[in-house]
């Protein structure tokens, strides 16, 4: 895949991106150079990570070696971006930096890392189980090789969507904030089952299996959501009674506004 890759920050998402590449031998452990912020993170990776990768603290002398890597994945928390300083040993501007930082624009990345061509990627937590969604916006003058490298980072664990950058905020709201919203819905529905006398664990299991089954039904039969709703809603029945309560409580509007709010917050970060 490439000779060397630098990973700046090694949280759950970065772990989920890099580990499958190592599992498939697309990169070798000795060619991975990881930069972390704390001694605790350093020791945790050295003791517990399944591969013997190169790992350094960000304030160590050895950390400068990461700037010798032509390809870099930026995976720190957005509030720590200011602590990252581009190395001054770069000999060319043909270096690639792929950022997964929420709300940090390509323009800001380019200003921060002037000797790099920058790509912005938005991915979500299901990437950790190989079911991620990743949106990619390309910076200027990205080469074919750099484009292929970027896609290789995510294609083992994600479905990839290519966008202009202005779509990434709403993509983030739907796909990255969305899992928390779905978790809240699952929790609420299972509490409804609990109220009807079901044990909590059983109620949660039923809700999750129901959601998976519903998604399969929609996909396999190529139904619209409206068609599915009409399929299970009969005059004067239980389903229309439940839907009526949701409409009275403005649940539909609340869900729409939650996505709009998350998107706007992402724009504020930019």
- The span from the CA of 6 to the CA of 63, in Å, is 10
pLDDT tens digit sequence for 120-142: 999 999 999 999 999 999 999 99
Q: Has domain 5-164 been given CATH number 3.40.50.720?
A: yes
Q: Give the predicted TM-score (pTM) of the model.
A: 0.90
Lowest-confidence range among 35-44, 85-94, 192-201, 226-235?
A: 85-94
78 Cβ neighbours under 8 A, 6+ residues apart: 101, 102, 103, 104, 269
Quick check: 99 pLDDT over 70? yes
Each domain of the chain, given as residue ranges in start order, spans: 5-164, 178-269
Strand partners, 95: 116
pLDDT bin (cut points 50, 70, 90) of residue 2 is low
What is the per-residue burial (b if ≥16 Cβ within 10 Å, else e) of 53-77? Answer: bbbbebeeeebebbbebbbbbbbbe
pLDDT tens digit sequence for 86-97: 876 665 667 999
Q: Has domain 178-269 been given CATH number 3.30.70.2660?
A: no
């Amino acid at each position: 895949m490439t000779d060397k890759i630098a990973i700046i920050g090694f949280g759950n998402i970065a772990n989920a991106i890099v580990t499958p590449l190592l599992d498939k031998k697309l990169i070798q452990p000795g060619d991975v150079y990881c930069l972390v912020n704390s001694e605790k993170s350093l020791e945790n990776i050295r003791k517990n990570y399944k591969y013997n990768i190169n790992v350094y603290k960000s304030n160590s002398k050895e950390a400068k070696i990461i700037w010798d890597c032509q390809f870099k994945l930026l995976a720190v928390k957005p509030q720590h971006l200011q602590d990252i300083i581009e190395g001054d040993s770069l000999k060319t501007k043909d270096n690639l930096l792929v950022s997964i930082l929420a709300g940090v624009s390509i323009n800001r990345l380019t200003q921060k890392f002037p000797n790099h061509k920058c790509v912005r990627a938005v991915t979500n937590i299901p990437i950790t189980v190989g079911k991620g969604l990743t949106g990619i916006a390309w910076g200027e003058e990205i080469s074919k090789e750099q484009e292929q490298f970027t896609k290789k980072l995510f294609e083992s664990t994600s479905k990839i969507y290519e966008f202009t950058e202005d779509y990434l905020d709403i993509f983030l709201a739907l796909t990255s904030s969305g899992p928390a919203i779905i978790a809240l819905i699952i929790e609420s529905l299972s509490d409804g089952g609990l109220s009807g006398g079901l044990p909590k664990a059983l109620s949660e299991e039923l809700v999750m299996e129901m959601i998976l089954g519903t998604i399969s039904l929609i996909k396999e039969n190529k139904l619209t959501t409206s068609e599915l709703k009409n399929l299970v809603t009969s005059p004067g029945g239980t389903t229309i009674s439940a839907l009526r309560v949701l409409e009275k409580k403005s649940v539909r509007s609340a869900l729409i506004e939650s996505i709009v709010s998350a998107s706007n917050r992402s724009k504020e970060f930019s």
